[in-house]
Amino acid sequence: MKLNKTQIHDINQKDLKSHESDFNYLSDKLTNKGLDVNSIVSKLKDFQVAIPSWALGAGGTRFGRFSFYGEPSSLEQKIDDIGVIHALTQTAGAVSLHIPWDIPSDYNAIKEKADALNIKFDAVNSNTFQDQKGAQETYKYGSLSNTSKAVREQAIQHNLDVINIGNKLGSKALTVWLADGSCFPGQNNFQTAFQNTQDSLIDIYKGLPDDWKMLVEYKPYEPNFYSTVIQDWGASLMLANGCGDKAYTLVDLGHHLPNSNIEQIVSILQLKGKLGGFHFNDSKYGDDDLTVGSIKPYALFLIFNELVYGMENNPQNPDLAWMIDASHNVKDPLEDLIQSLEAIQEAYAKALLINQADLKAAQLHHDVVKCQEILQDAYRTDVRALLQQARLDAGGALSPINAYRNLNVRNELITERGKNTVATGL
């Protein structure tokens, strides 16, 4: 299944007139406020978010998994699906591979496919949270933190293998997320576990090519429920600093205890030049992996406000690796990802409306009311016509969800792949 520009162009015709009037109305309003609409639209066009190779099928919980018809069962098919999302949204120009779930069998074929669909290979993800078939050692009691040297060595080697695989595809970053921790007090010595993790990460870091980054993801709990070795941004930052300049912290929105001020975390990491990557999702309780912006869109906007500030004011911080890390239990995964992309772009567009000079002046005058007015004026603006314009300029769909449905994508996929498919991955 491959969508072409003509199909999308034709579908857009019906809504073109009403889009134009929406866009012109908004464009006038924003121009009158002194904003450069063209530059905002072009920033939206440039903003690309990676889709993880494990998110194209239905997710599940430990209580069960309900498959979704026409799921991809090979890496080729997963890239095809990302191609569909990218053709419609023009925002998903990258894939983030999970190893070993998605090891390419034919590197050239995979690269050619991705190239043809305009998809790049973003960060590669290692997996030392599951035992692999035929593995000598078990990760039941940890991987990089394990008290057994043999286990640590196996986990280090796996990460080096992942770098090697990513290198063949043009990836430039390794994301390390560890499940390591303990389920009960007394089970682990915190200091030993942390020190072992640091030493193991340093060994991996030594194998990192010069132009690569290592992204260290943190998470407070799950699958371990008493302690996690890399439980928060502080632990991640210490470990990254212990490795060197090419190691950074990765923030996953779902990996915080309730009510954490994520925007402040993001802000300070950028000040220190240490924010390397981002996993988008939304949550009500924990690592829920729900559709981005479905629960706390205002929080997402506040995070984007800090990201935009950082992108403009913190040259010490590198470009970020953006990825959606969501799981789809009851929706068509492709529709869910399209909704997430829309929410990300919406929050980004609203953050771009904030007049940073006015905000700074209001802050200096301690005009707290004005500060809030500036943020909320941006947040309350309906920016969807800007997103549509960005997609239109890039050859995407005015409404990706409508186009997806009108083009009958899911049925086509079912015809191609069959009804009872099982996607590999989580």
Asked if 102 is part of the footprint of ligand AOS (rule: CB under 6 A), the reply reads no
Interface pattern 249-288 for Zn ion (x via CB under 5 A): ---x-x------------------------x-x-----x-
Q: Which is nearer to ligand AOS, 253 or 375 (CB)?
A: 253
Asked if 122 is part of the footprint of ligand AOS (rule: CB under 6 A), the reply reads no
Asked if 122 is part of the footprint of Zn ion (rule: CB under 5 A), the reply reads no
Categorise residue 395: left if φ over 0, alpha if ψ from -120 to 50, beta otherwise.
left
CB of 172 to ligand AOS, least distance (A): 17
Asked if 252 is part of the footprint of ligand AOS (rule: CB under 6 A), the reply reads yes
Measure the CA–CA gap between 142 and 193, rounded to whole angstroms.
9
Q: Which is nearer to ligand AOS, 117 or 124 (CB)?
A: 124
CB of 273 to Zn ion, least distance (A): 22
Interior CA angle at 305 toward 302 and 307, to 5°? 115
Question: Total binding residues for ligand AOS by CB under 6 A?
Answer: 11
Gap between the terminal Cα atoms of the chain: 24
Asked if 219 is part of the footprint of ligand AOS (rule: CB under 6 A), the reply reads yes
Cβ atoms of 276 and 173 closer than 8 Å: yes
Residue 215 bridge partners (DSSP): 175, 248
Categorise residue 289: left if φ over 0, alpha if ψ from -120 to 50, beta otherwise.
left
Interior CA angle at 238 toward 160 and 289, to 5°? 70
Give the one entry of Zn ion, ligand AOS, none that residue 346 binds, where binding means its C-beta sits below a cut-off of 5 to 8 angstroms depending on kind.
none
The span of 60-68, 203-211, 289-297, 382-390 binding Zn ion (CB under 5 A) equals 289-297
Sheet with 321-324, edge to edge strand ranges: 120-121, 94-96, 50-52, 321-324, 275-280, 247-252, 213-217, 173-176, 124-125
Q: Which is nearer to Zn ion, 284 or 360 (CB)?
A: 284
Q: Which is nearer to Zn ion, 215 or 362 (CB)?
A: 215
Segment 149 to 168, residues that bind Zn ion, using CB under 5 A: none
For residue 425 the two structure tokens come to 């991955």
For residue 271 the two structure tokens come to 């000040």
Asked if 98 is part of the footprint of ligand AOS (rule: CB under 6 A), the reply reads yes
Closest C-alpha to 218, from 182, 241, 251: 251
Residue 10 gets which letter from DSSP? H
Classified as helix, coil or strand, 215 is strand
Measure the CA–CA gap between 197 and 239, rounded to whole angstroms.
8
CB of 175 to Zn ion, least distance (A): 8
| From 102, 325, 332, 335, residue interacting with Zn ion (rule: CB under 5 A) | 325
CB of 177 to ligand AOS, least distance (A): 4
Measure the CA–CA gap between 406 and 301, rounded to whole angstroms.
31
Asked if 78 is part of the footprint of ligand AOS (rule: CB under 6 A), the reply reads no
Measure the CA–CA gap between 319 and 348, rounded to whole angstroms.
15
Asked if 177 is part of the footprint of ligand AOS (rule: CB under 6 A), the reply reads yes
Asked if 279 is part of the footprint of ligand AOS (rule: CB under 6 A), the reply reads yes
Interface pattern 21-60 for ligand AOS (x via CB under 6 A): ---------------------------------x------
Q: Which is nearer to ligand AOS, 119 or 326 (CB)?
A: 326
Give the one entry of ligand AOS, Zn ion, none that residue 125 binds, where binding means its C-beta sits below a cut-off of 5 to 8 angstroms depending on kind.
ligand AOS
Interior CA angle at 123 toward 120 and 127, to 5°? 130
Measure the CA–CA gap between 375 and 158, rounded to whole angstroms.
45
Give the one entry of ligand AOS, Zn ion, none that residue 328 binds, where binding means its C-beta sits below a cut-off of 5 to 8 angstroms depending on kind.
none
Segment 317 to 376, residues that bind ligand AOS, using CB under 6 A: 325
Cβ atoms of 214 and 248 closer than 8 Å: yes
Give the one entry of Zn ion, ligand AOS, none that residue 98 binds, where binding means its C-beta sits below a cut-off of 5 to 8 angstroms depending on kind.
ligand AOS
Residue ranges in contact with Zn ion by CB under 5 A? 252, 254, 279, 281, 287, 289, 325
Residue ranges in contact with ligand AOS by CB under 6 A? 54, 98, 125, 127, 177, 217, 219, 252, 279, 287, 325
